[in-house]
Structure 1
């Protein structure tokens, strides 16, 4: 990644937990806009909810369509877009990844965001194929999903060793019946899914490698700790050695 400085308040970031994704996404949007020789891209956000990513992307000047199954979330999206002054650049459509191409035009988008949605679809392979079908030639997919190894580490550090072992051996990376996520992935599984959908994995990043493990009081009270932690997250994100312990995994894939 090209930027490894401190937090810039002018850039769209929700928190340290999304900093890596924002760095990658912003750079990818800039590159795609330059390649397409346009200042305005068509972006699709699947499962985008109330617009945590969609509204900041629209503030960069792009058109964003959010597909989400929840009417309440889409209402929140509309309100959030109005507050940000980007109503004309944000639209919401009720739907999900499985039926995506029934509610949006295939091959119509320069960038597709699929963040935190793949864990919930019945058939992840089919879901990624549908997502890929929404991309234009030269378009890119930003895929963010829960990491299996991160869950194992988190349960172990919390003292839940039996749950950690169960997550380690479970095909879906679940630690027990009380686990709220239907499935988690490894980096290899995600890159295989995008390859099978006809996309090329351009980069893989570990997300929330350290942010979920460091005590919040340390980040809030130690001078310079937040910026230092951000730099560490960015520096480690592309190192494959840390992908196995990341809470989330991010794949940037491209359609040639």
Structure 2
């Protein structure tokens, strides 16, 4: 359910790919959280749960850092791809795939067994987002971090308007689920306040809120791919705007990082 493999903006040595432009902010925040947790616990290898992690777009890079990752996903095909990707990356011994979903999470994993939980691209598709967040939090150890990534309402409204679909854009603004019409492939979208409230109500201390893909989905691909230095400049712009609340309202995705109190 998540985007293609993340590449850290700080660590990239070649021109960023379109995939890395969409995930670099989340990856940098997540890596920092894992580093802090590893330092706090005095271990180099954490237990990480990736709910809806699919083929390992985040799980495999996290495993490359030396952590143990459990991926829970309902798709057997995605889990097969995960196994293959982990093997190709040389981290098969640190990645485990389990078929399941966040609603029945504790049918397949234990409670309070993880230092970090990733819930990326999941809340849009569950019947009860609050239950999903509560389950994710219940899987965390005290002091662990939850990384929430979900579709943003404002980004969808802006995209429909810029495409000339003004009626659909207006419909999304008034629709309780933030959908622009019956043909909308995303069942639900969130504002930053809604996502933060879900995390807080589940007992998390919210530490950071980021807008993701603020500009990356709006800039023509031909410009990024052909203009010298454009991709790198866009990556820096995304990072600069990510934490500014004024840009959360137009982000395609929203990211919330919360910590479970000790």
1:188 to 183, 186, 193: 193
What residue number does 2:225 align with?
220
Residue aligned with 1:118, SS: coil
Query: Aligned in 2, Cα 1:141/1:8: closer, same or farther, shift over 3 Å?
Result: farther
1:39 aligns with 2:82: no
The match for 1:161 is 166
* 1:197 corresponds to 2:202: yes
Q: Deviation string for 1:18-75 (max 9, x for gaps)?
A: 0111110111111111111100000000000000000010011100000000011101
- In structure 2, what is the Cα distance between the partners aligned to 1:61 and 1:47? 21
Q: How does the TM-score come out when normalised to structure 1?
A: 0.96
Query: Secondary structure of the residue that 2:241 maps to in structure 1?
Result: helix
- Corresponding position of 2:3: none
Q: Residue 255 of structure 1 corresponds to which residue in structure 2? A: 260
TM-aligned CA distance change 1:62 to 1:14, over 3 Å: farther
Mapped to 1, the partners of 2:239 and 2:105 lie a distance apart of: 32
Q: How large is the RMSD of aligned CA atoms in angstroms?
A: 1.6
1:6/1:231 contact within 8 Å kept: no
1:111-136 per-position Cα deviation (integer Å, ceiling 9, x unaligned): 00000011001100011000100000
Q: Could you say what secondary structure the match of 1:203 adopts?
A: strand
- 1:7 offset after TM fit, Å? 3.1
The 2-side partners of 1:215 and 1:176 are apart by 25
Identify the residue that residue 137 of structure 2 maps to in structure 1.
132
Q: Which residue number corresponds to residue 82 of structure 1?
A: 87
Q: Which runs of 5+ in 1 are unaligned?
A: none
Is the CA contact 2:9–2:24 (under 8 Å) kept in the aligned structure 1?
A: no
Deviation of 1:218 after TM superposition, in Å, equals 0.6
Runs of 4+ more than 4 Å apart: 3-6
Partner of 1:115: 120
Out of 27, 52, 55, the position equivalent to 1:50 is 55
Once the two structures are TM-superposed, the CA of residue 15 in structure 1 deviates from its matched residue by 1.6
- Residues 145-179 of structure 1: CA distance to partner in whole angstroms, max 9, x if unpaired? 00001000000000000000000110110000000
For structure 2, the 5+ residue unaligned runs are 1-7
2:97 corresponds to 1:92 = yes
Contact in 2 for aligned 1:144/1:251 (Cα 8 Å): yes
Match of 1:18 among 9, 23, 33: 23
Asked if 1:60 is matched to 2:57, the reply is: no
* Match of residue 177 from structure 1: 182
- Once the two structures are TM-superposed, the CA of residue 4 in structure 1 deviates from its matched residue by 6.9
